[in-house]
Structure 1
């Protein structure tokens, strides 16, 4: 009954109705003392009395208990942020227990299940048994797919499920979930924007197109970044991809719009150049990575800019976590540095004095000076 507010709800409803404890007691067939204890939170009524009490006050049983089976978006985001912070300070098992208690209570709130699945994915490597945690993510996603009616939530659950299968080396299952071909882009956003404009909703029409441009732009960067690992033996194409992506990053200020896209790109480019044994080019990419790190401002939030000026409301309304980062600040900072310093492929590049100086600047900026000792 920890999350119930029965005592407060009962007292409030009784006073709103203008009846006494005695009258309530007579209606449900108990003593006045029993009703008094209910309102003080000293005891609860027998479960068989709840329908009668709810009928008396003309409310649902959930409303009478103060129980909300569906979380609000704000509540979900608050819980996610608190749990992410706890992963930085407590043992994985302790936070996991709290997550599972919440999941048991809100097992029918599918957006919440999706957020907890995402949270597990962001921290599962810290668990004593990571594979077991991945299996739990798979279970949560499968429940969403089977029982949720929200197409968008189902799609995101399938994406998480596919990621889990990849982590487990189950590539055939990934292809079963997502298919084996690139999906046709039909440009539905254009039709939607025209229809909205005809209805007189010009600002909404502009928002739809801005969001479309933003997502396609990030899609190009992410796809090009991932393609680099398959073009190591094709240096001309590899170089041209880097040239084009850098131009896109600069043209749309993607480093500020979505810092992660730029950071991942420069890491992947540097790793590719190390495999090609082109250390100077790799160093150039790593230094650009450091430059982006030095531009980071915390807390990290996903925002639009002067060009994508209608993006913020869409982010708030459509992304489950809103503008907030998916992991706690300290973990993000440590991983930003470790992505270079703890990766064997960059071992030779780390001997470069100029890169060492830049990494020390990054550590100072991130307040992680002890990590460089």
Structure 2
């Protein structure tokens, strides 16, 4: 057994603000036994290791001084492999994910990526069964909470907090969301312009432009998601809904967002079409259904994260992402669910006898490339 385990146990106990007596009570042993472990006089029995690891929310590997870590490339490769495994056989894929999470419990980027993978394929893994969905959602929440509390990477911590909030929102726990994120919108102080200016002063104009392109690219994607979410909230204001839908559509066209991120545009078009149906605005609903069908017919799968002729300096940033250029969720599944939403949604039932709608439905039903 690792000769430093006594130091590890002592450090974990102090970090978690636990006394020797509290640890002893949990394990059903005496305080003196814990004291002897921490001073190196004796070592825990091997059968005690799982309980000690569970008490400190860590892994046995960590207790033994072996923290299994994965490189960014290894995480990217495993994400791609496990995503395919889940699509091919959800039960076997989930089993593989769980085994690897146990193996790399202290590799927080990997645990976070697996939480992301499970959350993005929740409907595939649970087949929309309420009990199974709740059980797996709780499991994902525990993974994210582990990363949020244990990781010292602020970026991963921040992402884990956002994903935790999404889970709470999906489970109708708005108060939990507000407790986690706060009740007011924080003032945005983006550092990208400062970083780019610093590169420019160093004479590195290429890096400066790449920094600004990367920032703008991400803000555009966030803006489209913000449009979608805002439109979903406008239930009783047809005029504002129409105005915002028009502006969102112009925004998409202006920056040619469909050329580098078509799935968020499909999601927006679908949401706008469904929103207009709430107001019995059939002409506008048909207009955006047609936009959806036209874009969907042009997509080649699988979709990857990419730039375009304008965003030509973002590929270094894409390559350094935890899962590289692959989408977090299998794009074919997203496309299928979006199509099903339109084809099976009773919201569009009033259009069923409209020739234009029938033509759109026929186009949507065609096999994608």
Specify if TM > 0.5.
yes
**RMSD between aligned alpha carbons?**
2.0
User: Separation in 1 of the partners of 2:198 and 2:162?
Assistant: 30
Partner residue in 2 for 1:176: 179
Normalised TM-score (structure 1): 0.76
Whether the 8 Å contact between 1:88 and 1:330 is mirrored in structure 2 is no
CA apart distance, 1:324: 0.9
- TM superposition score normalised by structure 2: 0.77
1:329 shift after superposition: 4.8
The answer for the alignment partner of 1:334 in structure 2 is 336
Contact 2:293 2:360 in 1 (8 A): yes
* Residue 87, structure 1, aligned to residue 90, structure 2: no
Query: Which whole-Å CA distance do the structure 1 matches of 2:71 and 2:297 have between them?
Result: 36
Counterparts of residues 6-17 of structure 1 (less than 5 Å):
none
Q: 2:115 aligns with which of 96, 117, 142?
A: 117
CA contact (8 A) 2:267 2:338 kept: no
User: How far apart in 2 are the matches of 1:336 and 1:231?
Assistant: 21
- Aligned equivalent of 2:170, options 147, 160, 167: 167
Alpha-carbon spacing, 1:152–1:331, altered in 2? closer, same or farther (3 Å): same
Q: Is the 8 A contact 1:210 1:310 kept in 2?
A: yes
| Matched residue, 1:99 | 97
In the TM superposition, what is the alpha-carbon distance from 1:87 to its structure 2 partner? 2.2
Partner of 1:7: none
Give the ranges of 4+ consecutive aligned residues of structure 1 lying more than 4 Å apart after TM superposition. none
**Matches of 1:217 and 1:86 in 2, distance apart?**
32
The 1-side partners of 2:290 and 2:309 are apart by 27
Cα distance in 2 between the residues matched to 1:331 and 1:216: 25
Quick one: which of 240, 249, 253 aligns to 2:252? Answer: 249
Please name the residue that 1:35 is paired with.
Answer: none
- CA displacement at 1:344 relative to structure 2: 2.3
Q: Are the aligned partners of 2:270 and 2:338 in contact in 1 as well (CA < 8 Å)?
A: no
Alignment check: 8 A CA contact 1:293 1:336 kept? no
How far, CA to CA, are the matches of 2:79 and 2:264 in structure 1? 23
Query: Offset at 1:143?
Result: 0.7
1:152 aligns with 2:152: no
Cα distance 1:72–1:187, how it changes in 2: closer, same or farther (>3 A)?
Answer: closer
How many pairs align? 301
Per the alignment, in what secondary structure is the counterpart of residue 348 of structure 1? helix
1:320 aligns with 2:319: no
For residues 364 and 279 of structure 2, the distance between their equivalents in structure 1, rounded to whole angstroms, comes to 26
String of CA shifts for 1:267-302, please: whole Å, max 9, x gaps: 111111111011221111111111110121112011
Q: 1:196-225: per-residue Cα shift (whole Å, max 9, x none)?
A: 211232211111111222222223222122
Q: 5+ unaligned residues in a row in structure 1: which ranges?
A: 1-46, 48-61, 368-373
State the alpha-carbon separation in 1 of the partners of residues 352 and 143 from structure 2: 41
Give the 5 Å matches for 1:130-141.
130-141=133-144
Following superposition of structure 1 onto structure 2, how do residues 11-90 of structure 1 map, counting pairs within 5 Å? 69-90=68-89
Inter-partner Cα distance in structure 2 for 1:327 and 1:309? 24
The 1-side partners of 2:298 and 2:200 are apart by 38
Report 1:199-278 matches (<5 A): 199-278=202-281
- Whole-angstrom CA distance in 2 between matches of 1:349 and 1:79: 44
Q: Offset at 1:314?
A: 0.9
Paired residues of 2:257 and 2:265 also in contact (CA < 8 A)? yes
Distance in 2 (alpha carbons) for counterparts of 1:228 and 1:329: 23
Partner Cα distance (1:193, 1:101) in 2: 42
Do 1:304 and 1:311's aligned partners in 2 also have CA atoms closer than 8 Å?
yes
Q: Does 1:279 align with 2:282?
A: yes
Question: For the residues of structure 1 that align with 2:348 and 2:76, how far apart are their CA atoms?
Answer: 36
- 1:108 matched to 2:110? The reply is no
What is the alpha-carbon distance in structure 2 between the residues aligned to residue 143 and residue 232 of structure 1?
37
Contact 1:145 1:154 in 2 (8 A): yes
Whether contact under 8 Å (1:71, 1:112) holds in the other structure is: yes
Q: Which has the larger radius of gyration?
A: 1
Matched-pair contact (CA < 8 Å) for 1:337–1:359: no
Offset of residue 134 of structure 1: 0.5
